[in-house]
């Protein structure tokens, strides 16, 4: 089975749109997302444009604040503090990557956890790892929702996550632990990567190596989620060799059209969550 991320993302967006409409009728208020974009890095420009379009389609007010690449860290921190204090702003997102003069750690720490739609602030990270309610990073959340469309009860499943980044691998592990999976994280220092992958009922690849996972690396009944986005020549491919695996696993996400659309849908979902928390 090929998992259609576009279709699932559309379902989520429609649910969000209806809930926002209902909340607006009751409260007279609308969620608002502010994105800070620094420089003109092409992938970031495209991604932010897609975020803005998607937000407006579901009824979220969206603003992009643009800065030149040489902006000072102080200016960005001051703007974040201003947005933190603004009760009309539901969510704040600073688009990564950042130029070298700006500390990613300082920026992430500066965003109010209750407006942290990316789920990167240490408070949200700590809540997630402790099993408490938290804002969850968008890509891992999207992955989990896709997995649960295939298998609603994950208790006792063996999940193998390739990659240990703070953006994907680690939060993905926490989400799957919360679902009562047995979780293994593998990475560049892992001995016998192929053998570890073969143990997986659920395999999540988020390492940035084109076509790393091949036929013979994955069990027949595995669910395979490919987070990788790699350019090979003129093609965009994932971390998984899709053509080799598509007929040899239980379910698999394509690249593109799998996890990507879910990431933006979950950003909208997080923005709505932040908005609702401020209504109560």
Q: Give the active site residues.
A: 51, 95, 118
Burial label for 228, CB within 10 Å (0-12, 13-18, 19+), is buried
d(CA 114, CA 111): 8
- Helix axis angle, 42-58 to 259-279, nearest 10°: 50
Query: Under 8 Å CB-to-CB from 160, ≥6 apart: which residues?
Result: 183, 184, 185, 186, 196, 197, 199, 200, 202, 203, 204
Rg of the chain's alpha carbons, rounded to an integer? 19
Q: Which of 220, 162, 156, 215 is nearest to 186 (CA)?
A: 162
CB 53 within 8 A of CB 22: no
d(CA 83, CA 249): 46
Torsional sign, CA 111, 46, 1, 222? negative
């Amino acid at each position: 089975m090929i998992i259609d991320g576009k279709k699932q993302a559309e379902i989520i967006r429609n649910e969000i749109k209806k809930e926002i409409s209902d909340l607006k009728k009751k409260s007279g208020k609308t969620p608002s997302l502010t994105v800070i974009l620094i420089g003109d890095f092409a992938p970031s420009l495209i991604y932010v444009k897609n975020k803005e379009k998607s937000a407006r389609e579901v009824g979220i007010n969206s603003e992009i604040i643009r800065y030149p690449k040489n902006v000072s860290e102080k200016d960005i921190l001051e703007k974040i503090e201003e947005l933190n204090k603004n009760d009309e702003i539901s969510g704040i997102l600073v688009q990564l990557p950042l130029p070298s003069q700006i500390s990613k750690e300082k920026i992430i720490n500066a965003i109010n956890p209750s407006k942290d739609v990316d789920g990167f602030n240490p408070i949200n990270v700590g809540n997630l790892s402790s099993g408490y309610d938290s804002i969850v990073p968008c890509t891992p959340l999207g992955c989990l929702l896709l997995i649960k469309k295939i298998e609603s009860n994950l208790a006792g499943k063996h999940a193998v996550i390739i990659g240990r980044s703070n953006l994907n691998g680690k939060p993905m592990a926490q989400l799957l632990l919360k679902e009562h999976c047995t979780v293994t994280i593998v990475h560049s220092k892992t001995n016998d990567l192929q053998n570890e992958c073969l143990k997986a009922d659920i395999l999540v690849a988020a390492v940035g190596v084109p076509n790393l996972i091949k036929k013979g690396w994955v069990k027949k009944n595995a669910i395979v989620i490919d987070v990788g986005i790699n350019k090979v020549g003129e093609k965009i491919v994932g971390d998984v060799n899709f053509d080799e695996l598509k007929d040899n696993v239980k379910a698999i996400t394509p690249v593109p059209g799998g996890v990507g659309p879910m990431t933006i849908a979950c950003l909208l979902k997080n923005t709505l969550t932040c908005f609702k928390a401020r209504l109560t």
